[in-house]
Structure 1
Amino acid sequence: MSRLNVLSVTSELFPIIKTGGLADVAGALPAALAREGVNVVSLLPGYPAVLKTLERIETVREYPDLFGGTVRLVSAKANELDLFVIDAPHLYDRPGSPYLTPDGRDWPDNAWRFAALGRIAADIGQGTVPGFVPDIVHAHDWQAGLAPAYLHYGDMPRPGTVITIHNIAFQGIFPADILYELGLPPHSFTVDGVEYYGQIGFLKAGLRLADRITTVSPTYAKEIQTPEGGMGLDGLLRSRSRDVSGILNGIDESVWDPASDRSLIAPFARGDLGRRQVNKEALQEHLGLEVDPDAMLFGVVSRLSEQKGLDLVLAALPSLLADKAQLALLGAGDKTLEESFRAASIVYPGQVGCFFGYDESLAHLIQGGSDALLVPSRFEPCGLTQLCAMHYGSLPIVSRVGGLADTVIDANEMAIASGVATGFQFSPVNLSGLTDAVIRAKRLWSESETWRRLQQNGMAAEVGWSRPARQYAHLYRSCLEEG
């Protein structure tokens, strides 16, 4: 088996910089792919949080003027990851989110900030960095979407190209009049290039010009080819359906391991589920809930948004909290939802506990201490939180969409009898559907032996990166064979 070099182009990378699941995927894949004969180097913007983690820094290329300032491309190591980092203070040296100003708006120069990511990815792809010539450039989401475009319109031999859609709702759309400033030729501004309804579409460009398109679950790959799920790109995706594949995400089992997790008060294994009770009590105490082993504890670890269905959780609270049940929530996002959950914690003292923001340790404790985890998304490309829940013995309650439908086996009568059920699915995605699923879960939770079997089923499920890594490695090689 020949060894491949892959340049992974991403705007975030766990554990260095993270706002969501993209970081987890981009951070876990390199080690998993190494076992498949694939050497991955990740290209990442030089945000302050990134630069301070770097070791063994070496300048490999300089740009005297790229989109308004001097840029230095460095190779480095961080957290055992091989990196190229774009050191461009005029683009990345600023506080807050990689994408948003401190007051929550898009940075006004995001087009140039992420065009730089695509442009430098293309340069590396064309072999301009000594010692590393990629066979494949793998772009992640709209932020890297111009990498295939710069390669396509370049005048040098190019590697194979793959783009992965992590969430098609975010597309990177910018005014047409910056085409020249981005360094793209006039003939690129067509329906078969970067043009998108009279503007420049970064994600659209990648989907049109990459050799292969992947997304993060088989069901989502089908959903995005429909008008309901394609967010305006369904026609393009249908026209390229032979090049579209869905590869389920996994979780990094070296990070998410209940038997050795230092964020848990009491680590536990599949055969020692009794120890979860210690974590449950610690979680209840941490979030100001009544410490009660007999109260069913629902968890939420999520961005707070309507996409994630958190408004449905609010509407379902009377049924959810009946019979002394509790809710432990970790998340941030929509300020109206935050205020509504804050108000709920006052209306239901001791039953609703919230932490607004991001806390990695608390996320682990919720997975290891809750009885069930709520994931009522209206659409969900893959989802990682339900995989973590199963791995940690918390039964996920999920809407039947995207990767949630692909990863959770509903605890219907036949699945329970067959010994394969791992959680609860519901459809349609509305208040009635969620409420019915919660009631089913409560009924089974009262049957302790059945519940424990479902927990053990979930913990035994294959949720790591081994199988997805094999699929990606096969995709890369087939791309080269056909290219």
Structure 2
Amino acid sequence: MNIVYVSSEAAPFIKTGGLADVAGSLPKAIRKKGQKISLVLPLYSQIDDKYREKMVKVKHFYVDLQWRHVYAGILKYEDDELDVYFIDNEYYFKRDGIYGYFDDGERFTFFNKAVCQMLKELDLKPDIVHANDWHTGLIPLYIKDFAKGDPYYKDIKSVFTIHNLKYQGVFDKEVLSIAGLSFEYFTTDGVEFFDKINFLKAGIVYSDALTTVSKTYAEEIRYDFYGENLQGIIRKHEHKLVGIVNGIDYDIYNPETDKNIPFNYNINNLENKKKNKLELQKLYNLPQDENIPLISIVSRLVSSKGFDLIRYILEEILKEDVQFVVLGTGEREYEDMFKMYAWKYEKKLSAHIYFNQRESHLVYAGSDIFLMPSLFEPCGISQLIAMRYGTIPVVRETGGLKDTVIPYNKYTGEGTGFSFANYNAHELLFSVKEAISLYKDKENWNNLVVQAMTAKHDWENSSIEYIKLFESLLKK
């Protein structure tokens, strides 16, 4: 098959969140399975020169946006693992950030339309175009719209993946005119959303297959609590909806080879994990003690990640014989909360209100227990990284957290972490105390660490599921 994978960000070129990790690793996993696949991204000004130096301009053309004839340059990044194309337009992409501008609707309309024109301009003729999140939500619609007047697009199938239903790309309906799309699409069953246009909804409605990033989240988003006002249209299209859990790139997240940590280790050498703990304690000005349970959080500090629960019980946790480290930025109230407790319990809690990729690897490697009590979590990558590094996750049973963390069974010893069901602070506290209690039982704790480290969460199985989905579309 020939697949074109389109995203607004992908590691290592440009990253603001988990979407970039997926877009950076899933196409490579599909390629390893013998499929032809290309990745398409916007050429943001933030992309480092070391990548730009390997880009070659292959073509340019013009995209019609209302009365304007807008330049689109195509650069190809020369890479052994993957063909990567960048769409260049300095007016839209030479900015200080990559999202959050007044004209985001227009910027990503341009990107979506340019991608679809590029398919023909370069004669890529894909079997499948795989679009991701609202930034690429118009692509399935453009393919259907172009096919009405151009047979080139007739047999191209589109797949649309929802990474987080909360972010939808809702803009004034005038964007439809800028896009050059007929108002026949502006209906309740089309792109209309409270008298505006919704890019994510366009992807849901007009794609040939709809996926999301875990099986549980695929069930949850059909109902009001998780549905973000799109549950009705999702239920209408549920016949084409599947959940395929995300993986992580085992080349990047590998405690045996990771250059970001001072001591590499594996299941046969867990003593080095303790050495990393001592390094982490030293770096974050905590008393060095390899035997004290060290709890960590690496996260955006936002309400959906469960910080309201943590607020209620943090003092109780800190009264236990533990240490606690936090790495991340977010909403002011949670940043201030951790700063206050770091001041009050300076020998126990170290809060770092910034994000640093290298430090995050040391936090995963050097801590014992990882906290992730999310209100909702489409898939989650942090718990997968934590398990890979032998740091035991404590999670709420929602979305991908439920699908990837097997709760510890004290009778059989099975499991890869601890979990609780209800969005309740004391259920979280009970789970944390259960983890702290097991930590004191070295033999059973080490067995749990080994089980977490050997659980398989790479892209191997998920890439096979995507390929089967693509193949099923081509038979229709």
Shorter-normalised TM-score: what interval? over 0.9
Alignment of 1:385-464 (within 5 A): 385-414=382-411, 417=412, 419-464=413-458
Structure 1 Cα separation of the partners of residues 362 and 82 of structure 2: 26
Secondary structure in 2 matching 1:73: strand
Conserved 8 A contact 1:332-1:358: yes
For 1:318-359, what per-residue CA distance to the aligned partner results, in whole angstroms no more than 9, with x for missing partners? 222223311111111112211221121111102111222221
Secondary structure in 2 matching 1:291: coil
Conserved 8 A contact 1:60-1:75: no
Letter in 2 for 1:143: H
Shift of 1:117: 2.0
Alignment of 1:273-422 (within 5 A): 273-414=270-411, 417=412, 419-422=413-416
Match of 1:143 in 2: 135
Match of 2:103 among 109, 117, 122: 109
Gapped regions of structure 1 (runs ≥ 5) = 100-105
Structure 1 Cα separation of the partners of residues 33 and 237 of structure 2: 27
Letter in 2 for 1:61: H
Q: 1:426 to 1:298 in 2, by over 3 A?
A: same
Check if 1:23 corresponds to 2:20. Answer: yes
Alignment of 1:31-430 (within 5 A): 31-50=28-47, 52=49, 53-54=51-52, 55-63=54-62, 69-77=70-78, 80-96=81-97, 98-99=98-99, 106-125=100-119, 127-130=120-123, 132-154=124-146, 155-157=149-151, 158=153, 159-414=156-411, 417=412, 419-430=413-424
Conserved 8 A contact 1:124-1:133: no
Gapped regions of structure 2 (runs ≥ 5) = none
Q: TM-score, normalised by structure 1?
A: 0.94
Conserved 8 A contact 2:65-2:180: no
Shift of 1:42: 1.1
Greater shift, 35-44 or 225-234, is seen at: 35-44
Conserved 8 A contact 2:55-2:75: no
Shift of 1:80: 4.5
Letter in 1 for 2:75: V
Shift of 1:265: 1.1
Shift of 1:420: 2.8
Structure 1 Cα separation of the partners of residues 109 and 284 of structure 2: 42
Greater shift, 349-358 or 57-66, is seen at: 57-66
Structure 2 Cα separation of the partners of residues 152 and 64 of structure 1: 17
RMSD: 1.6
Conserved 8 A contact 2:189-2:233: no
Structure 1 Cα separation of the partners of residues 337 and 12 of structure 2: 31
Shift of 1:78: 5.8
Conserved 8 A contact 1:215-1:246: yes
Conserved 8 A contact 2:28-2:81: no
Structure 2 Cα separation of the partners of residues 138 and 195 of structure 1: 23
Shift of 1:64: 6.8
Conserved 8 A contact 1:148-1:205: yes
Structure 2 Cα separation of the partners of residues 468 and 441 of structure 1: 30
Structure 2 Cα separation of the partners of residues 290 and 66 of structure 1: 60
Structure 2 Cα separation of the partners of residues 73 and 88 of structure 1: 9
Letter in 2 for 1:194: V
Letter in 2 for 1:329: V
Conserved 8 A contact 2:415-2:451: yes
Greater shift, 149-158 or 431-440, is seen at: 149-158
For 1:184-230, what per-residue CA distance to the aligned partner results, in whole angstroms no more than 9, with x for missing partners? 11212122322122110000001000000000000000000111111
Letter in 1 for 2:41: L
For 1:267-293, what per-residue CA distance to the aligned partner results, in whole angstroms no more than 9, with x for missing partners? 001111111011001111111212122
Match of 2:468 among 467, 474, 480: 474
Structure 2 Cα separation of the partners of residues 338 and 455 of structure 1: 30
Letter in 1 for 2:262: I
Shift of 1:66: 5.2
Structure 2 Cα separation of the partners of residues 425 and 64 of structure 1: 50
Structure 1 Cα separation of the partners of residues 191 and 454 of structure 2: 45
Structure 2 Cα separation of the partners of residues 290 and 403 of structure 1: 35
For 1:435-459, what per-residue CA distance to the aligned partner results, in whole angstroms no more than 9, with x for missing partners? 1111111111111111000000011
Letter in 2 for 1:95: D
Q: 1:298 to 1:66 in 2, by over 3 A?
A: same
Shift of 1:390: 0.8
Letter in 2 for 1:379: F
Structure 2 Cα separation of the partners of residues 242 and 420 of structure 1: 35
Shift of 1:413: 2.7
Secondary structure in 1 matching 2:197: strand
Structure 1 Cα separation of the partners of residues 261 and 307 of structure 2: 26
Q: Percent identity?
A: 36
Q: 1:330 to 1:79 in 2, by over 3 A?
A: farther
Secondary structure in 1 matching 2:159: strand
For 1:22-54, what per-residue CA distance to the aligned partner results, in whole angstroms no more than 9, with x for missing partners? 000000012210122222211111111226323
Secondary structure in 1 matching 2:316: helix
Structure 2 Cα separation of the partners of residues 477 and 309 of structure 1: 38
Structure 2 Cα separation of the partners of residues 404 and 160 of structure 1: 31
Structure 2 Cα separation of the partners of residues 121 and 477 of structure 1: 22
Q: How many residues of Structure 1 are paired with residues of Structure 2 in the alignment? A: 467
